Structure 1
Amino acid sequence: MDTVPVRYARWDGVGSPFSVVSDRTSVVPGSGELLVRIDLATVCGSDLHTVSGRRPSPVPALLGHEQVGTVLGVGAGGVRCVDGSPVTPGTRVVWSVTASCGGCERCARGLPHKCLGLRKYGHEPLVESAPLTGGFATHCVVLPGTAVVAVPADLPDEVASPASCATATVAAAIAAAGPLEGRRVLVTGAGMLGLTAVAMATTAGARVAAVDPDPARRDQALTFGAAEVHDGSSTPGEADVAMEFSGHSTAVQRCLDALAVGGTAVLVGSVSPGATVALDPERVVRGLHTVVGVHNYRPVDLAAAVRFLAAHHRGYPFADLVGGTYGLDRMDAALAAARGAAAPRQAVAPRL
C-alpha cells in the first residue's frame, strides 16, 4: 500500500519542549475517514492552557484543533459535508473539534458535541500507530462522525483556520442568544472569541458594548463593530444579551448583573475551575432571565461560522487577528509568541 511522508509536533508534558516526529501513513484512509493535508493551523487559547498545565491533557499528545486543509483521500463509503455535498480529493475543508458516535443517548438528543464516546482533535492520547489526531502536523486523519465544511477558495487560510474552534464556538453562542436585531448586547472579553462575537452580533443588528481591561483590545473591538467599549471600571448599562468569553469570575458576575428583564446570559469562557459567583434566584425569577452555557458546538455552527467568514472577512479585519508563521520545528516559539502577542492567534505552517 502506498504511503505519504508525514511530520507532527509531539508534546511530552508541562515543561517539555515539542519534538518533531517523521513518519509515514497510508494514502488510503479507512471507511468514513478523510486524509487531509494541513495547510495552516492556529494556536488556540486551550493549547496554551494545556502546555501550562491549566488544562488536563494526556501525555504524550499531538495538540492543535484549529486548522484548514486540503483533502488528499476519502475512505470507503464516502464523506459528506454538513450541507450534504460530497467531499472529494482536492476539497479545501475545515472540520469540527469533535468526532461523535451518532448513536448514543446524547447524540440522539441533538447533542453530538457532548457524545458519550466523544473524541476531540488535539486532545487525544498520542498513539504512535495512528498519531494524526491534531492540527500541529502535516496531515490529519479526520474520523467518522466529524462535521466537515468546505471552504471557499477566496477565504484566506489565516481567516479560515480559527473557524474550527473560535468562530464556530461563537456561532453556537450567537445561536443560544436568540434573535439579536435591535437588542443591546454586552460582550465581556475582547480576545479572539469576543471580537468575533462583536462582529457577528453587530452584523445581526445588535448594539454592542464590549468590555476588556486591555486598551489595545478595546480599540480592536471598535474596528469589529462595537458601538462602545469599557475597561470594566464602569457599568455599560442594562443588556438584553450578555455574552462572556474571558472566563474571569468578575466578568461572569458583570454579565449576570447587567441583564434586563427577559435577558439572556451566554457563558462561554469558563472552561476551567474558577471562583464562584453570586446568583440571586429571586432576580432570575422576577427578571425572567435565562443563563446558558456553551461548550463545543454543533455541526450547523461550524457551517454558520464559515458562511459568516466568507461573507464578512473583507469588512472586518479577521486576518489581522493571526500573526507569525511558524514551522513545526518552532512550536515552542509559536506558543511563547501566542502568550504575549497583540494578535490573539499565531499561525503554524506545518510544511515549512
Structure 2
Amino acid sequence: MNNTKATAKIFHKPNQAFEDFETNIPNPAADEIVVKITYTTICTSDLHTYYGRRNSPSPSILGHEIIGKIAKLGDSITSDYNGQPIGEGDLITWSVYAFSPENPMAKIGIPQKSPDLFKYGHQSILNGSPLSGGFATHCLLRGGSSVFKISNKLVPGEAAPLNCTHATIAGALRLAGDINGKNVLVFGAGMLGLSACSMSREIGAKNVYTIDINNDRLKNATSFGATETFSASLSDLDIENKLNNEKIDVVIDTTGNPKAMESGINLLSLGGIAIWVGAVYNAPKTQINAETVVRKIISIKGLHNYTPTDLGTAINFLASCHHKYPFKKLVGKEFPLKKLDEAFEAANSGKYYRIGINQDN
C-alpha cells in the first residue's frame, strides 16, 4: 500500500454502488489527529442512509463506529479526553462529532446539538472533509474531537461500536437517573437493546425486561443480562400479568416504533421515566394519552447522540465487563474495505447484529 495515500469508499445516493476514492494522507494541524483505521462496524443508521430511509450529505464517506491507531499527532495534543498520554501507534476511539466547547449548546450540556457540529460519517467530502468517515483507510480528526485511548485487550468487533451504541445507552441511563434496585423495561433487543440490558444490570437494576418481535434475539438477550423477555405480540395487559406485580420504573425504547413507545408509557408505573433513543428517522406519529402522562406523573426524555462523558462511561463499562457479556460475538461477518458493497448487503439482511470492516493489517 502507498504510505502517502488514503483510500475510501464514497456514498453518492441510495442503493448505488460505492465509488473507489483516493486522496493524499494529510499532515494534521496542531489540534488534529490522523488515524489509521483498523476496524469499522456498519451501524443501523448507515443502513438507513444507504437504503434511502433517511437523508444524509453526499458524496460522503459513511461509517462512524470506528477504532484506529494514531498515525500522525498534532503538535498541541499530548493526552486524551481523560488526561491519559497518547502518541503514535495508540489505539483510540472518539465521539461521533467534533464541537467547540465555547458553543452555547455545549455550555448548557448538550454539545451534540451545537450548530457548528462536525459529524464523522455524515459529512460531504466536497466541504474540505475528504477523510471524515469509517469506510476508509484513514480518518482526520478535527480539533474539538473527544478522543479516548482504549485497551488493545478489547476485540476490535466489540470495541468499534463503543462510540455509538454503548455511548448512546450510557447517555440514556444518565438521563434515567439512579436505577439501583429499580425495574427497567427495554424495547428492542438489537445492539442498543442488548447494551441497555447489560449496562442496566451492571449499575444495579433489580430486573431488566426485554421486548422484541424476534424470538431469536429475545433468547440471546438473556446472555446480556435480561431477567425475562416478552414477545412484542403480547398485549400490554398480558405483559402486566407476566410481571407478577413488579412495577416498571424505567422504559428505554431503542426501536423508534410508535407502538412500542406508546406501550412503554402504558406500562410505566407512577413516577416512571421513559427514555427514547430509537426514533431517529421518519415514522408514523406516536399517539400518547396525555391524561396517562399527567395522572401517572411520567417523564419522557429523548436522547440524540450523547456527551463525551457518556462515551467515557461506555468505555469503562466495556473494559470491565467485556468478558462477562458476549459482545464480541455480535459481529456476524467481517469483510475487507474493498468488499463494502457485499458487506452492506449482508448487514441489510437482518441476520446479524453487526458486520465488521476489518483493516488491521
- After TM superposition, is the score higher than 0.5? yes
2:80 and 2:11 mapped to 1: Cα distance? 31
Q: 1:299: which partner in 2?
A: 308
Q: 2:32: which partner in 1?
A: 33
Matched, 1:185 2:184: yes
TM-score scaled by structure 2? 0.93
- Structure 1 residue matching 2:4: 3-state secondary structure: strand
CA offsets per residue over residues 304-344 of structure 1, 9 Å max, x none?
11111111111111011112111121111111111124331
CA contact (8 A) 2:10 2:20 kept: yes
- Structure 2 residue matching 1:180: 3-state secondary structure: coil
- Structure 2 residue matching 1:211: 3-state secondary structure: strand
Query: Where does the alignment leave 5 or more consecutive residues of structure 2 unmatched?
Result: 241-246
Q: What is the count of residue pairs matched by the alignment?
A: 350
Give the RMSD, CA atoms, in angstroms. Answer: 1.6
Q: 1:22: which partner in 2?
A: 22
1:278 to 257, 270, 287: 287
Q: 1:173: which partner in 2?
A: 172
CA contact (8 A) 1:47 1:64 kept: yes
Matched, 1:106 2:115: no
Matched, 1:156 2:165: no
CA contact (8 A) 1:20 1:328 kept: no
1:288 and 1:270 mapped to 2: Cα distance? 23
TM-score scaled by structure 1? 0.95
1:56 and 1:95 mapped to 2: Cα distance? 24
Quote the offset at 1:282 in angstroms. Answer: 2.8
CA contact (8 A) 2:266 2:292 kept: no
1:289 to 268, 285, 298: 298
- Structure 2 residue matching 1:83: 3-state secondary structure: coil
Q: 2:335: which partner in 1?
A: 326
1:84 and 1:46 mapped to 2: Cα distance? 31
Worse overlay, 236-245 or 134-143: 236-245
CA offsets per residue over residues 268-307 of structure 1, 9 Å max, x none?
0001121222223332222221100011100011111111
1:331 and 1:133 mapped to 2: Cα distance? 17
Matches within 5 A, 1:194-205: 194-205=193-204
Q: Which amino acid aligns with 1:20?
A: D
Matched, 1:264 2:263: no
Matched, 1:51 2:60: no
Worse overlay, 167-176 or 226-235: 226-235
Q: 2:141: which partner in 1?
A: 142
1:53 and 1:80 mapped to 2: Cα distance? 39
Q: Which amino acid aligns with 1:81?
A: D
Q: 2:243: which partner in 1?
A: none
- Structure 2 residue matching 1:14: 3-state secondary structure: coil
Matches within 5 A, 1:183-262: 183-206=182-205, 207-234=207-234, 235=236, 236-237=239-240, 238-262=247-271
CA offsets per residue over residues 118-142 of structure 1, 9 Å max, x none?
1100000013864110001111101
Quote the offset at 1:12 in angstroms. Answer: 1.4
CA contact (8 A) 1:202 1:225 kept: yes
CA contact (8 A) 1:327 1:351 kept: no
1:60 and 1:279 mapped to 2: Cα distance? 38
CA contact (8 A) 1:187 1:209 kept: yes
CA contact (8 A) 2:25 2:138 kept: no
Query: Where does the alignment leave 5 or more consecutive residues of structure 1 unmatched?
Result: none
Identity %: 35
CA contact (8 A) 1:42 1:162 kept: yes
